[in-house]
A and B are shown apart, each in its own frame.
Chain A
Amino acid sequence: MSENANPLTFGDIDRRVLATLAPASRGYWAAVGLLAFGVLIGAGCWAYQIAAGVGVAGMNNPVAWGTYLINFVFWVGIAHSGTLISAILHLMRASWRNPIVRAAETMTVFAVCVAGLFPFIHLGRVWMVYYMLPIPNQRNLWQNFQSPLMFDVLAISTYLTVSTLFWYTGMLPDLAVVRDRSTGKKKKIFTIISLGWTGAQEQWRHYTRAYLFFAALATPLVISVHSVASWDFTLGVVPGWHSTIFAPYFVAGAIHSGLSMVLTLMIPMRRIFNYEKIITIDVLENVAKAIIFTGFIVAFAYGTEFFMAWYSQNPVELEVFRNRPFGDYAAGFWIMAVCNTILPVVFFFRFARRSLSILFMVSILVNIGMWFERFVIIVTSVSRDFIPHAWGLYAPTWVEFGIMIGSFSLFFFLFVLFVKHLPSVSMTEMKEMLGKRGGHGG
C-alpha cells in the first residue's frame, strides 16, 4: 500500500467515491439503454419459450439439461467470490480486500438474482412452480425434500437473503455519508435507506458486531451453496456426475470464476472512476495470486476425475471420460482445461500479475473456461451415459443464446446502475484500513 507517493486521506476517499455518484453522462445512459435492450431480448425469448414449449431450446433425450442449468451453475459460481472476499477475508483480517469488497458483494447479490432466474427458465411448466413451495393444500401434497432441487431452493434463497443483508448492512454508514452530502430528492431517498444512521458510538458498536456476525453466518454459506448446487449432479447415478469430489470441486471452481469476475469488473471500474489509488494494483495482484491457487485446485479436481474413472475400470465411467477430451465435445473440454488450469499459471510471473491487460484478458478467459466447465459436466455426461442406444448430442438454439444474452445484460445492467447510484467502494472499510495506519487528516 505504500506505492502511492501521496497517501490517501479520508477526504480523498469520500471525494473520489462520491464523485462517482455525480449525474451521469449521456454515454452512461446509452450503455444502460443497451443493456436494458439486452434484458428485453432475453425476456422476449423466455416469453416465446413459455408460449411454444421448452422444445424451442435445443435440449432433447438424453440431454435434457442444457444452457439454462449451465448458466445457473455459472452464475451461482460467480456469486461465490463476493462473499468469500467480504466474509471469509474479513474474518481472516485480510484487509487488502477492503477496496473491492463492496463491488464484490454487489456482484454476489446480482449474480445470485440472475442465477435464481435460470431454474425458472428451465422448467417445463414454470406456471406451476409454486408446487415447490410448501403451501397447505386440500390434497396434502408435500414437497420431496430428498430432491436436490429442494435443497437448491433452500440454499439459493438463504444465500440470497444473507448476502443481501450483509451487503446492505455493510453499506449503511456509506449511505449516511451520501445522505449527508446530497440535497433534494436524493437526500430524501438516502435518508430513508440509511435507516437513521448517525454515526453514534452505540451504532458503530452494533454495526461492527452485526457485520462480524453476518460475516460468520455467510462463511459457511460460501461453502454450502455451491456444495448444494453440486449435489444436483452428484446425488444422481449419471457417470461423470456421481462423484464425491464434486462439492469441494464446485466450490473451488466457483471461487475461481468469482475471482476472475471480480477482476473483469474491477479493472474497467477502476479506470472509469479513477479508483487507481483506492483499488491499487496490489489488490489486483492479490486476486491474481488467489486465482493461481484456485486454478490448481480445479486442475487437481479434473485430474482426480480422470484417475477415478481409470481406477474404477467401469466401462461407463471410462467412456464418459474418454468422450470428454476426444469425443464430440472435445473443443469444450480443451477450452475448459486450457483456460482454467494452464492460463492462470502466467500469474506466477510478477509482470503478468501487474499488467492490467493481461489480468483483464486472463480473467475473461477464465470466465469462458468456467462456463465451458459447466457445459462439459452437464452435457457430456448424459449425452453418453448408460444405454448406448439412447446416446445423443445437444446444441443450444437461438432462444437459448437470446436468454444467455439477456442474463449477462441483466447482470451488467444492475451492476452499471449500482456503480452510479450507490457507493461502489466501501468508504467505511477504506477508512478503517487507513485509520489503522493513522491516515486521518482530510
Chain B
Amino acid sequence: MDRRTFLKIAAMGSLSFASGCSSQPDKTLFSLVQAPDDMVTGRGTWFASTCRECPAGCGIVAKNREGRAIKLEGNPLHPINRGRLCMRGQAALQGVYNPDRLSKPLIRENGRLTPISYEKALSIIQDKGSDAAKKGQGRVAVFTEMVGPTLLSLFKALLAQWHSETPTLFEPFAYESLKLANSQVFGIDGLASYRMEQADLLVSFGADFLETWLSPVEYARRFQQMRAFGSGGKGVYLHVGPYAGLTAANADRFMVCRCGGEAFVAFGLIREVLEKISDSSVSGDLVEPLKRILDPFDREEVLKLSGIRQSHYDLLIERVLSARRPLILGTQGAGAGENTPATDVASCLLNALLDPDLTLIDFSNRHTVERTAKRSDVLNRFKSVTDGKVDLLLLNNIDPVFSVPYNAGFRKTLGQDSPFVVCFSSFMSETAALSDLIVPIAHPLESWDAYEGKTGVWSILQPVMGNLVGTYTLGDLLVRLAFKGETAQQGYRGYLANDLIRRGMIKDERDWIKTVQQGGAFDGLSSEGGLSSKVQPSWSWAGTLSSAIDPGASGTIFAAVPSIRLFDGRGANKPWLNEAPEPMTQVAWQTPVLMDSHTAAKNNIRQGDVLKIASTWGELEAPVYLSEFLHPDLLVMAVGQGHTAYGRYAKGFGTNAAGIFPPDTHPVCGGPLYRVAPISLTPTGKWLKPANTDGSRVQHHRKIALTVPLKALYEHQEKGHPGLGMWDFPLTLPLPEGYDPQRDFYPPHDHDGYRWAMVIDLDRCIGCGACAVACYAENNIGVVGEKRILQGREMAWLRIERYLDEADPTRVIFLPMLCQHCDNAPCESVCPVYASHHSREGLNNQIYNRCIGTRFCSQMCPYKVRRFNWFDWEWPAPLNFQLNPDVTVRSKGVTEKCSFCIQRIKAAHGKAKDEGRMIQDGEVIPACAQTCPTDAFVFGNLMDKTSRIRKLMADPRAYQVMGYLNTKPAVIYLKKVIRDV
C-alpha cells in the first residue's frame, strides 16, 4: 500500500468509525449538502471489509463513490485471498443492492405477513424468549450460518439468559467426512489447510478446491503456484472421481471411476505404497493393521470395484510412488456418498504414509468452517424442535427449507404454529416464507463484525456504505436483546471492539482503527510449523475403512454437487451469477442434469430432453445436458437453483435437487447424503432449449486455444520459415515493428507513449469466470436474462471459451476472450462514423455517443467480442446504485465491448500527470486482471521495453489467436502447457 492510499483509507476508516453505524438510516445515500470534508466528488474511497458469500472469509476492499459501494476487490493485505476474489465475491454487491431485499420486519398474523417496526419485533422476540425461559431449560434454539466468534459469543450470551444451549452453526456444506477423517487419523477434529504450493504431485479424490472446497480463491492461487509453468511450478495434478467439474477439468489427467469407487483406488494406492516403503519412519502400528485391512484390494480387485481405467490406475501408482512431495486431497466435502468417509480416511492415511512429517498439512491455521455442526447434529437438534421441546426458534440467514432434503422435517415443523420461528434474513427465502417473524438484517457490507476465516486470521467487517434500506445489523439487534444500559447503548460496534480487546486481538482504539484500515488482524497466521499431529491408532480409523461398500451394485446414481456460481443456493438471487455461464457446461440461468453422452445416445436421449428423475424420497424434472466428463452410471446436477421464493432472479429458475435425497445422514460421518440410488428415469416428452452460450465444444483445428507439451519447451525449437497461413504466420506485435511492407498495405499507427496490451497465460487460467463477473461489475454490463441468452444476446465483454480437445474430449482448455484491441482492426475501417476508433494509445475505442448501430463492426470482428445493445437493459432499483459512475450506461442501439477498463487508464493518466511522470508498469490493472485468483492476466504498456508484458512477449509460448488474419491483436496468449502424464 502506498502512502496516499494509506492516508485515504486512514481518513475514511476513522470517518466511518466516527459515523459508522447510526440507528437512523440515511435518508439519501448521496447528499453533497453535507459531504464529509475529505470526500472528493468523482474520486473513490476504499473500505476494507470481509466477504461473507461463503465461509472462507476472504478480505475485500470496496470502492465507495459518492456514498455508494460500486465495486468489490480483494484486499491485497489479506492472507487468505491476497487481493483476489471469485465470482461470488464479485457479485456480493448485488446482495446489498438486490431489488428484492426486505426492509421492514414482517409478522405473520392470521396467515398474512404484516410489516411492523423493529421496536415491536424486538419486543416480540424478547417476550417470547422470556416466556420460553420461564418454562424451563433449553426452550430457545438458535440455528445460524457460520458467523464470527464475536457474534457467536453474543448469541451464547443471549441464549444463556434464556437458559438455553449454544447456537447450532449450520452450513449446508460442512465437511463432516473430512473432519471425521482428520480426527480419526490425525486426532484433530477439524479442517486443516494444505500447503499445496509446496507439493510436486497433487491427487484429489473429488475435492473441488477450485470451485467451493474450503477456500477456493486461496487454493486456486496455491494450485497454480504449484503447477503453472510461468511461476516455475512443475507439479502435476491428478484427479480421481466419478465426474469432472471445473477442478477436475484442470487436472493434468482426469481419471474417471465409479461413484464411490475412489475409496478402492485409495485403498489400492495405500497397498502399493506399503509395498514400496520399508523405512522405519512410518510406525509399525500404522503399517500392520493397514496391511491386514487392505489385503483384499489387490490390483484386479481395485480395478473391478472402482471401475477406473487400468492405464490410469498404473499411471497414478507410478506418479504417487515417484513423487517427492505428494499431497493427497480427499473428497468433495459438500455431501457424502456411502464411501466418502472411507475415501477421506484413506487419503489422510496416504498423506501420513507418503510424508510422515506431514509438512504439507497445516494443522494450526485451520479453516474455521470446521466449527459448523455436523448435519446429523443439526438434525438431532432440530428434532428437539420438532418434538415440541422448543418454544422460540431463531434462524440466522440460513435456508434449510431449500437446502436440506425435504423429508428432513424443516418444511413441516416451520410451517406449524409452534414453535415461534424468527428468521433473520434479508430476503424472502423459502425458510423465511415459513417463519412467523421475519427480521431483515443489514447486509454484511453494511455491518460491523469480525470474522475468522482461518484460525488466527481475523477479518474485520465494516460498513462500506450507508445503510441502504433501513435495516439493522444482526449484531445491533442481538446486543439490544441481550443487554441493557451502556452496552446496549454503544451498540454492536462497541461490543465488537471490546470483545476484540478482551481477546487480545487489539490493544486499544488506535490499534482498532489500524485493524479496521487494513481489514483485520492477520498476525496469528503462522507460516510454518505450529500444531503438530500424530497418526492415531488403528482402532479409530479401521472401522471407517471397512465401511466401504461395492459401488457397482447400486446401478445409476444421482448426485448433487456444489455450484461455483451459486454455492449452496445463496447466490441464486444475484443476476450476475445467473448470467455468467457455468464454466463446464456454459449454461446460464438453468440447472441441467449432466448425463454421459454415450449413455444418452444408447437410450436415445437428446440434449435438452426433460427427464423425470425419481428416488424413494422424491422426484424432480430437469433437462439433460450431454457431458463427456461423467461415469456412465452417474447423473450429476448442481445445487443452487430451483427456488420457490428468494426473489425475482431465483424464483422459478432451474431445479433443486434436495428433494430427492434421503433425509438421513451418513451413518459413519453424519454428513448429508448427496448421492441417491436407485433412481428411475422417465422421459417426459418435453424439451427445454439449453441456454448455453457456446456455439461449439471444440475449436475445429483452429489457432485459438493452443497447448504445448512440457517437453517441447525445454527442447531447442527449430523456427520454421514464417508464411501467411494459419499456422506459420509469425507473431506480429501491435507496434510499428510488427508491420512488414510485404504484408501490410497501410502504414503503422503512431502511438503516443503507450501501447496498451495484455498477456493471458492459458496455463494459469482455470476457467473460474471471476474475471467475467468482475467485468460486469466494473463496466455496467447489462444482464439480459434467460430468454435473451437463448436468443444469443448475452452482453459479456469477457467470456471464458471452453474447448474440449478434439482428440481426447476429457481434456479441457479455457480461453478468456475479450476485445483484442487489434492494431489492424477489421472493425475500425468499416464503421461509417468512426465510432470504432483507434486511440493514440492503441486502444480500440468504441464511442457510444457516435455509434448509430450498423453492427458492421460486430460482423467484421473475427473474435466476435463486440456486443450490440438490442434493448435498453434494466437495473431494477436499487441495482442501479451499483453502476460505476466512471462508465457510460449504454442505451439501446449501440455497440459496446471491452475497453481494457479505459476508465482506470484515464485515472492513472490523471495521477501520473499530477506527479509529472509516465504511468508505471503495473499501475493500471483492469478489473479482470485484478480479480484473477491465479494471475493469468498481465496488463501493461508495450512501448515500455522494461514492462512485464514486453518481457512475456519473448516467451516461446506466446501466440495470437487467429493471428494469420494480420489483425495484430494486442492480447497475446501463452499456450497451456501439457504435462506428459
Chain A residues near B (Cβ < 8 Å): 52-55, 58-65, 119, 122-126, 128-129, 131-132, 141-144, 146-150, 153, 232, 235-238, 314-316, 319, 382, 384-394
Stretch among B444-452, B691-699, B906-914 lining the A interface: B691-699
Q: Is B194 an interface residue (CB 8 A)?
A: no
CB within 8 Å: A-B pair count? 177
28 residue pairs of the A-B complex, CB under 8 angstroms, read A53-B869, A53-B893, A55-B791, A55-B871, A58-B791, A59-B855, A59-B870, A122-B855, A124-B854, A124-B868, A124-B892, A125-B893, A141-B833, A142-B834, A144-B831, A146-B829, A146-B830, A147-B830, A148-B856, A149-B830, A236-B830, A236-B856, A315-B700, A315-B726, A386-B863, A388-B803, A389-B695, A392-B695
Q: Is B802 an interface residue (CB 8 A)?
A: yes
**In the bound complex, do residue A124 and residue B869 qualify as a contact, i.e. CB atoms below 8 Å apart?**
yes
Instruction: Identify the interface centre among B702, B867, B891: most chain A CB within 10 Å of its CB.
Output: B702
Q: How far is the CA of A146 from the CA of B967 in the complex (A)?
A: 17
**In the bound complex, do residue A128 and residue B700 qualify as a contact, i.e. CB atoms below 8 Å apart?**
no
**In the bound complex, do residue B859 and residue A238 qualify as a contact, i.e. CB atoms below 8 Å apart?**
yes
Contacts of A131 in B (CB 8 A): 832-833, 850, 852
Q: How far is the CA of A138 from the CA of B513 in the complex (A)?
A: 53
Partner of B859, one of A52, A128, A236, A387: A236
Quick one: given A124-B868, A144-B834, A238-B860, are A53 and B852 in contact (CB under 8 Å)?
A: no
**In the bound complex, do residue A52 and residue B871 qualify as a contact, i.e. CB atoms below 8 Å apart?**
yes
What 5 A-B pairs have minimum CB-CB distances, sorted nearest first? A124-B853, A391-B695, A55-B870, A124-B893, A60-B792
Q: How far is the CA of A64 from the CA of B867 in the complex (A)?
A: 9
Quick one: given A55-B870, A61-B868, A386-B962, are A132 and B833 in contact (CB under 8 Å)?
A: yes
Q: List CB contacts (< 8 Å) of B9-40 with chain A.
A: none
**In the bound complex, do residue B859 and residue A382 qualify as a contact, i.e. CB atoms below 8 Å apart?**
yes
Q: How far is the CA of A126 from the CA of B871 in the complex (A)?
A: 14
Instruction: Identify the interface centre among A55, A62, A131: most chain B CB within 10 Å of its CB.
Output: A55
Q: List CB contacts (< 8 Å) of B859-917 with chain A.
A: 859-860, 862-864, 866-872, 891-895
**In the bound complex, do residue A65 and residue B850 qualify as a contact, i.e. CB atoms below 8 Å apart?**
no
Contacts of A132 in B (CB 8 A): 832-833, 852
Q: Is B711 an interface residue (CB 8 A)?
A: no
- Write the B629-667 contact mask toward A (1 if CB under 8 angstroms, else 0): 000000000000000000000000000000000000000
Q: A53-B870, A61-B864, A389-B803 are in contact. List 8 more A-B contacts (CB 8 A).
A: A54-B868, A122-B854, A124-B853, A124-B868, A131-B833, A237-B826, A315-B702, A316-B726
Q: How far is the CA of A165 from the CA of B864 in the complex (A)?
A: 43
**In the bound complex, do residue A123 and residue B893 qualify as a contact, i.e. CB atoms below 8 Å apart?**
yes
**In the bound complex, do residue A235 and residue B864 qualify as a contact, i.e. CB atoms below 8 Å apart?**
no
Quick one: given A123-B853, A141-B850, are A389 and B696 in contact (CB under 8 Å)?
A: yes
How far does the Cβ of A392 sit from chain B's closest Cβ, in whole Å? 4
How far does the Cβ of B836 sit from chain A's closest Cβ, in whole Å? 9
Q: Is B327 an interface residue (CB 8 A)?
A: no
Q: Is B64 an interface residue (CB 8 A)?
A: no
Q: How far is the CA of A388 from the CA of B703 in the complex (A)?
A: 11
Quick one: given A58-B791, A60-B792, A123-B852, are A237 and B860 in contact (CB under 8 Å)?
A: yes
**In the bound complex, do residue A61 and residue B829 qualify as a contact, i.e. CB atoms below 8 Å apart?**
no
Q: How far is the CA of A146 from the CA of B794 in the complex (A)?
A: 30
Contacts of B830 in A (CB 8 A): 146-149, 235-236
Contacts of A149 in B (CB 8 A): 830, 832, 854, 856
What secondary structure prevails in chain A residues at the interface with B? Answer: loop
Partner of A54, one of B859, B892, B962, B967: B892
Q: How far is the CA of A149 from the CA of B860 in the complex (A)?
A: 13
Closest to B862 in A: A386
Contacts of B829 in A (CB 8 A): 144, 146-147, 235
Instruction: Identify the interface centre among B726, B817, B862, B965: most chain A CB within 10 Å of its CB.
Output: B862
Q: How far is the CA of A383 from the CA of B372 in the complex (A)?
A: 51
**In the bound complex, do residue A61 and residue B832 qualify as a contact, i.e. CB atoms below 8 Å apart?**
no
**In the bound complex, do residue B852 and residue A124 qualify as a contact, i.e. CB atoms below 8 Å apart?**
yes
How far does the Cβ of A100 sit from chain B's closest Cβ, in whole Å? 36
**In the bound complex, do residue A125 and residue B852 qualify as a contact, i.e. CB atoms below 8 Å apart?**
yes
Q: How far is the CA of A153 from the CA of B832 in the complex (A)?
A: 10
Q: How far is the CA of A144 from the CA of B871 in the complex (A)?
A: 26
Contacts of A390 in B (CB 8 A): 695, 863-864
Contacts of A64 in B (CB 8 A): 855, 858-859, 868
Quick one: given A52-B871, A55-B871, A141-B834, are A236 and B860 in contact (CB under 8 Å)?
A: yes
Q: List CB contacts (< 8 Å) of B683-727 with chain A.
A: 694-696, 698-702, 704, 725-726
Closest to A152 in B: B832
Closest to B849 in A: A128
**In the bound complex, do residue B831 and residue A387 qualify as a contact, i.e. CB atoms below 8 Å apart?**
no
**In the bound complex, do residue B871 and residue A61 qualify as a contact, i.e. CB atoms below 8 Å apart?**
no
Q: Is B793 an interface residue (CB 8 A)?
A: yes
Contacts of B892 in A (CB 8 A): 53-55, 124-125
Q: How far is the CA of A388 from the CA of B699 in the complex (A)?
A: 6
Contacts of B870 in A (CB 8 A): 53-55, 59-60
Q: How far is the CA of A232 from the CA of B700 in the complex (A)?
A: 27
Q: Is B851 an interface residue (CB 8 A)?
A: yes
Q: How far is the CA of A53 from the CA of B802 in the complex (A)?
A: 31
Q: Is B171 an interface residue (CB 8 A)?
A: no
**In the bound complex, do residue A124 and residue B864 qualify as a contact, i.e. CB atoms below 8 Å apart?**
no
Contacts of A237 in B (CB 8 A): 826, 860, 862, 965, 967
Instruction: Identify the interface centre among B872, B892, B895: most chain A CB within 10 Å of its CB.
Output: B892
Contacts of B872 in A (CB 8 A): 53
**In the bound complex, do residue A124 and residue B894 qualify as a contact, i.e. CB atoms below 8 Å apart?**
yes
**In the bound complex, do residue B850 and residue A62 qualify as a contact, i.e. CB atoms below 8 Å apart?**
no
Q: How far is the CA of A59 from the CA of B856 in the complex (A)?
A: 13
Quick one: given A61-B864, A124-B894, A129-B852, are A315 and B792 in contact (CB under 8 Å)?
A: no
Contacts of A125 in B (CB 8 A): 851-853, 891-894
Contacts of A61 in B (CB 8 A): 792-794, 858, 864, 866-868
Q: How far is the CA of A319 from the CA of B832 in the complex (A)?
A: 30
Q: How far is the CA of A222 from the CA of B793 in the complex (A)?
A: 38
Contacts of B852 in A (CB 8 A): 123-126, 128-129, 131-132
Q: Is B788 an interface residue (CB 8 A)?
A: yes
How far does the Cβ of A72 sit from chain B's closest Cβ, in whole Å? 12
How far does the Cβ of A60 sit from chain B's closest Cβ, in whole Å? 3
Q: Is B568 an interface residue (CB 8 A)?
A: no
Contacts of B726 in A (CB 8 A): 314-316
How far does the Cβ of B781 sit from chain A's closest Cβ, in whole Å? 13
Q: List CB contacts (< 8 Å) of B808-854 with chain A.
A: 817, 826, 829-834, 850-854
How far does the Cβ of B865 sit from chain A's closest Cβ, in whole Å? 8
Q: Is B799 an interface residue (CB 8 A)?
A: yes
Partner of B801, one of A144, A146, A232, A387: A387
Q: How far is the CA of A394 from the CA of B859 in the complex (A)?
A: 13
Q: How far is the CA of A389 from the CA of B798 in the complex (A)?
A: 13
Contacts of A143 in B (CB 8 A): 832-834
Contacts of A144 in B (CB 8 A): 829, 831-834
Q: How far is the CA of A149 from the CA of B855 in the complex (A)?
A: 11
Closest to B790 in A: A60
How far does the Cβ of A378 sit from chain B's closest Cβ, in whole Å? 9
How far does the Cβ of B834 sit from chain A's closest Cβ, in whole Å? 5
Q: How far is the CA of A148 from the CA of B860 in the complex (A)?
A: 12
**In the bound complex, do residue A389 and residue B859 qualify as a contact, i.e. CB atoms below 8 Å apart?**
no
Q: How far is the CA of A63 from the CA of B854 in the complex (A)?
A: 13
Closest to B827 in A: A236
**In the bound complex, do residue B868 and residue A147 qualify as a contact, i.e. CB atoms below 8 Å apart?**
no
Contacts of A60 in B (CB 8 A): 791-793, 870
Quick one: given A123-B893, A237-B965, are A55 and B793 in contact (CB under 8 Å)?
A: yes
Instruction: Identify the interface centre among B817, B855, B892, B962: most chain A CB within 10 Å of its CB.
Output: B855
Closest to B695 in A: A391
Contacts of B855 in A (CB 8 A): 59, 64-65, 122, 124
Q: How far is the CA of A274 from the CA of B801 in the complex (A)?
A: 65
How far does the Cβ of A150 sit from chain B's closest Cβ, in whole Å? 5
**In the bound complex, do residue A65 and residue B859 qualify as a contact, i.e. CB atoms below 8 Å apart?**
yes
Contacts of A62 in B (CB 8 A): 695, 792, 858, 864
**In the bound complex, do residue A392 and residue B832 qualify as a contact, i.e. CB atoms below 8 Å apart?**
no
